[in-house]
Amino acid sequence: MQKNKLLIWLGAIALALACLPTSSVSLPTAEPGAVNTYIVQTADAAATQTAAVAPAPVTPSSTAKPTFTVTLSPSPTITFVFILPGLGVSGTPTLPGIASGTDKSQYGCKVFSVEPADGTVYETREDFSVKWGVKNIGRETWYRATMDYVYYSGAKLHKVASYNLPKGAEPGKNVYLSADMETLKESGTFTTKWALKIDNLYFCPMTLTVIVN
């Protein structure tokens, strides 16, 4: 009896199912490569979203080149010291000896007198004058405007270091040359040396030696 009931129920269910409308829904057929296209689109969308939220890219600035500051030491200044013949750096003649010249020389002289005489005794800080008598024995005339007589070496007894000729002197003529002097504050024997000078030429040495007590 139970077996017959089960068969009846199964038959009813089968009839009911047969009466249901047939579904015509069909699943879309995936075209070849659709999966790859979908993956690419998905990746593009993800990249777009990432770019939207990502901070703006920082453009690297050009690398600054190091600046080198070169400090140049000042070039040494070259100083030219012109030493004229017969003159030292200070302008004082420093020749060990000055020639008198001869009658064959363009300029020559002969010292024939000196006052006071060599060896005269003075006190310290005493004023006196010296006078040399000289003769022009050279071939050229001595002109007052172009020739001087000057201190060039030895004890500095002079008050003035350079004088003009008191007058000109032709060859064979005499002239007297005076200079104001003062003895030093030290005691001893002192010699002062003078000479005639024209341009840069020194000649005609004149000397005086005094004793100071």
pLDDT digits 0-9 by tens, 100-125: 999 899 999 999 999 999 999 999 99
pLDDT value at position 82?
A: 33
Q: Residue 161, exposed/middle/buried by CB under 10 A (0-12, 13-18, 19+)?
A: middle
pLDDT band at 14 (very low <50, low <70, confident <90, very high): low
How many residues comprise the chain? 213
pLDDT value at position 131?
A: 98
Q: What percent of the chain has pLDDT over 90?
A: 52
- Distance between terminal CA atoms of the chain? 182
Examine residue 141 and state whether it is found in any structural domain, yes or no: yes
pLDDT band at 17 (very low <50, low <70, confident <90, very high): low
* Structural domain count, the chain: 1
Phi, psi of 116 (to 5 degrees): -70, 170
pTM for the structure as a whole: 0.56
Whole-number Cα distances in Å, 23 to 13, 26, 27: 18, 9, 12
Examine residue 78 and state whether it is found in any structural domain, yes or no: no
Examine residue 96 and state whether it is found in any structural domain, yes or no: no
Provide the domain limits for residue 142: 122-212
pLDDT value at position 87?
A: 36
CB half-sphere exposure, 69, CA atoms < 13 A = 1
pLDDT of 186 > 70? The answer is yes
Examine residue 25 and state whether it is found in any structural domain, yes or no: no
Q: What is the pLDDT of residues 70-100, one digit of tens each?
A: 455 444 444 333 333 333 333 334 444 688 9
- CB distance 101 to 109 below 8 Å: yes
Mean pLDDT of 160-170: 96
pLDDT band at 3 (very low <50, low <70, confident <90, very high): low
Q: What is the CATH number of the domain that holds 199?
A: 2.60.40.10
Q: Residue 132, exposed/middle/buried by CB under 10 A (0-12, 13-18, 19+)?
A: buried
Examine residue 89 and state whether it is found in any structural domain, yes or no: no
Distance of CA 160 to the CA centre of its chain: 40
